[in-house]
Amino acid sequence: MHCLPVRRNMIVTDDVIESPQSIVIPEAANREISAQVVIKRLLNPSNLPEGEAL
């Protein structure tokens, strides 16, 4: 598995990225959502679940 961005056919071949077993694209989507949550919580600490602190 390789995170995105990736240099196609230099680091990872297109065949690997586009294979049915590849989880590169779903993992990139998960990473994007995680980053959005972190940024939201940093910009607005009231979004933290009760009892949590930065």
Give me the pLDDT at residue 16, please: 84
pLDDT at residue 54, rounded to an integer: 58
Based on its alpha-carbon atoms, the radius of gyration of the chain, rounded to whole angstroms, reads 16
Average pLDDT, the chain: 80
Name the token pair of 52.
């949590």
Note the pTM of the prediction, 2 decimals. Answer: 0.54
Instruction: Provide the CB-side half-sphere exposure for 19 (13 A, CA).
Output: 9
> What is the chain's percent helix, strand, coil content, to nearest 5?
50, 5, 45
Burial class (CB in 10 A: 0-12, 13-18, 19+), 20: exposed
